Amino acid sequence: MTTTEVTRAPRVTTPLHPAFSSALPSAAIGTPPLSIDTEFDYDVAIVGLGYVGLPTALAFHHSGNRVLALDNSPQRIATIAERSADVLDDDQQRLIRALDDPGFVLTSDQSLLARAAAVIVCVPTPVDEHLVPDLAILRSACATVVDHATTGQLIVLTSTTYVGCTQDLIIAPLLARGFEAGRDLYVAFSPERIDPGNASVNHDDVPRVVGASTPECERRAEALLRRYASSVHVVHSLAAAEMTKLLENTFRAVNIALANEFADICRALDLPIIEVIDAASTKPYGFMRFMPGPGVGGHCIPCDPHYLLWQLKTKHVEAPMIRQAMTEIAARPSRVVDRARDVLSDAGRGMVGARVLVVGVAYKPNVADLRESPAIEILAGLRDRGATVSYVDDLIPAIRMPGGDWLNAHNDPGSFDAELVIIHTKHDWVDLSWIGDNAAVLDTTYRESTITRRAVL
């Protein structure tokens, strides 16, 4: 169904929904199916249909579940209904099938949550301008889920957050309503690990981690996730599951900061960083490849370690290495601006009035996601120093700049007559052959080694 108007999904009249008998997906074979409560019209409700929630809803639907797909943004519902959401091709196919199926209900009607056997929360957990967790969206979503919770329901939080959050925002408020987790209904935390834009790893094949506060909550949450995920790793507390996600993304942040530092060291010593990384990557153990770049963006690396740092501060626990990594990462875009000035200077040009074109402003290849993208700070910094800036990005037609004005994408990069081209993000299909010999090039990806007159960050 494709509108916000919702019709009831057909009620289950058999003890076991057909999805769990004849058409069992391979992921679910051999796992204990949840007993399907005939009181529920939906096997699972997904709250928040963004980069995480929509593919999750589609994965559950694809594996035979009746899905209530809920988002409180009418605009987002319309985008999904129009099949215009930014998803991988496989998910686009799943979406087309789902929208034609009465077993997939797209809605913003929160009251329907009470009719779902399981509810999965996937709403954003950003940080504010002081890098303090902004829990307003998560609090509101959890309050809604708690308000509509019913006996026998399973609630799984998947948004990245601090340790103890599931207890604070779900279990305690449920108790205030008279529901005890593990007795009246069931609660778990399972961090999401999707990598939007990455078609090389199937979302359904990424193992899920799940933890809960009682064995029955754990068992039910594991069974739910096994309906679509090919493997589930159980930890024996909510806190361990919450901390797992913070470790994963802090690990990435620290290693990206280290890769950046090695890139700077290699440039100072006149060494090719990529050749060094390629060589180190041949080691089959003890080394993991991370690439230097212009900074980090998206909803994970720039935010998640700050949830940990914020929590540690309240407990007076020091984490100097993590703090330093986050400081280095945050400073990276302004280093790009400094380096642009140097590259222009080497070409005998000052920054004032220089025509600078940024290639790719999404925070990573193949997604239309501009959240926390270093490109915004880079464009603003260049402009503050007097450059005339523009950008090209097939996926992002316009950017709202920090001052509130809009910058439109340049459709014909060759005609911009750039004196400096900064390669920020290169989507897989992008052809850079228009870059001639006239412009200097600053390659913040370190990957475009065939371009002449190229400097790296």
Active site residues: 300
The DSSP 8-state label assigned to residue 321 in this structure reads: H
> Nearest residue to ligand NAD, using CB?
50
Task: Based on the shown chain and the rule CB under 6 A, indicate whether residue 53 belongs to the binding site for ligand NAD.
Answer: yes
Number of residues interacting with ligand NAD: please give it, by CB under 6 A. 29
Give the residue, chosen from 107, 159, 244, 250, that forms a contact with ligand NAD under the rule CB under 6 A: 159
Structure tokens at 319: 């984490």
Instruction: For ligand NAD, give the closer residue by CB, 87 or 344.
Output: 87
User: In this structure, are residues 142 and 68 in contact, taking their beta carbons and an 8 Å threshold?
Assistant: no
Task: Based on the shown chain and the rule CB under 6 A, indicate whether residue 51 belongs to the binding site for ligand NAD.
Answer: yes
> What type of residue sits at position 57?
A
**Which part of the chain contacts ligand NAD (CB under 6 A), choosing from 24-32, 135-143, 176-184, 447-455?**
135-143
Per-residue b or e along 332-359, where b marks 16 or more CB atoms closer than 10 Å to that residue's CB: bbebbbebbbebbeeeebebeebbbbbb
- The residues facing 127 across adjacent strands are 133
Q: What is the CA radius of gyration of the chain?
A: 24
Instruction: For ligand NAD, give the closer residue by CB, 12 or 157.
Output: 157
Give the residue, chosen from 133, 196, 292, 413, that forms a contact with ligand NAD under the rule CB under 6 A: 196
Task: Based on the shown chain and the rule CB under 6 A, indicate whether residue 70 belongs to the binding site for ligand NAD.
Answer: yes
Binding mask 292-311 for ligand NAD (x = CB under 6 A): ------xxx-----------
Task: Based on the shown chain and the rule CB under 6 A, indicate whether residue 123 belongs to the binding site for ligand NAD.
Answer: yes
Task: Based on the shown chain and the rule CB under 6 A, indicate whether residue 47 belongs to the binding site for ligand NAD.
Answer: yes
* Residue 398 Cβ vs ligand NAD, minimum distance, rounded to whole Å: 19
* Residue 68 Cβ vs ligand NAD, minimum distance, rounded to whole Å: 11
Give the residue, chosen from 141, 157, 221, 308, that forms a contact with ligand NAD under the rule CB under 6 A: 141
Q: Is 329 helix (H, G, I), strand (E, B) or coil?
A: helix
Q: Is 209 helix (H, G, I), strand (E, B) or coil?
A: strand
Backbone φ and ψ of 189, nearest 5°: -125, 135
Short-list 108, 208, 197, 195, CA closest to 158 = 208
Cα(41)–Cα(211) distance, integer angstroms: 26
Cα(58)–Cα(198) distance, integer angstroms: 16
**Which part of the chain contacts ligand NAD (CB under 6 A), choosing from 5-13, 65-73, 229-237, 263-271?**
65-73
Q: Which residues are near ligand NAD by CB under 6 A?
A: 47-53, 70-73, 76, 122-125, 137, 140-141, 144, 159-160, 192-194, 196, 298-300
